[in-house]
Structure 1
Amino acid sequence: MFVDFFYLLRDSGIPVTPTSFLKLHEALKSGLVKGLDDFYSAARTILVKSERYFDMYDQLFAHFFRGAELP
């Protein structure tokens, strides 16, 4: 599931890296993420390195996890 989200971000033009994905995985394993809202914040902080991609991340997250339509 999270791998598919990683590829969605990358394929949509957000420059995510395998290293950042592994860091996110470590955050998940350590118990820092308790729910979807925590995952949203952790993934955005760890995966998205530039503010210019925040809006795109928000749209892709909503589409992937909540079924919102993409513009």
Structure 2
Amino acid sequence: MFIDFFYNLKNSGIPVSPTSFLTLQKALKLRLIDSLNDFYTASRAILVKSERYFDLFDQVFAHCFKGADMPEMEEFELDDIARA
């Protein structure tokens, strides 16, 4: 499930590094994350390096963990996201 989350983030255009993903896995292994809300906060803080990707991260997270639809990448370009 977490691997799919990682690849969904990458495929949506968020530059997620394997190192940061391993850091998140370490936090899980050390039981520093106790709930879905904690996981959301930790994964956003660890995986997302720029606030320009916060909204896109929220959409991907909702899709992976709450069943929401994935954002359509054809609707906007990454530059449009960066300008917002």
User: Which TM class, normalised by the smaller chain length?
Assistant: over 0.9
Letter in 2 for 1:41: T
**Where does structure 1 differ by over 3 angstroms across 4 or more consecutive aligned residues?**
none
Letter in 1 for 2:24: L
Separation (CA, whole Å) in 1 of partners of 2:24 and 2:10: 15
Partner of 2:15: 15
User: RMSD over aligned Cα, in angstroms?
Assistant: 0.8
| CA radius of gyration, larger in | 2
Partner of 1:68: 68
Q: How many residues align?
A: 71
Separation (CA, whole Å) in 1 of partners of 2:21 and 2:59: 19
Letter in 2 for 1:36: L
1:25, CA displacement in angstroms? 0.5
Aligned CA distance change for structure 1 residues 4 and 70 (closer, same or farther; 3 Å): closer
Q: Which TM-score applies when normalising by structure 2?
A: 0.81
Q: Which TM-score applies when normalising by structure 1?
A: 0.95
Gaps of 5+ in 2: 72-84
Gaps of 5+ in 1: none
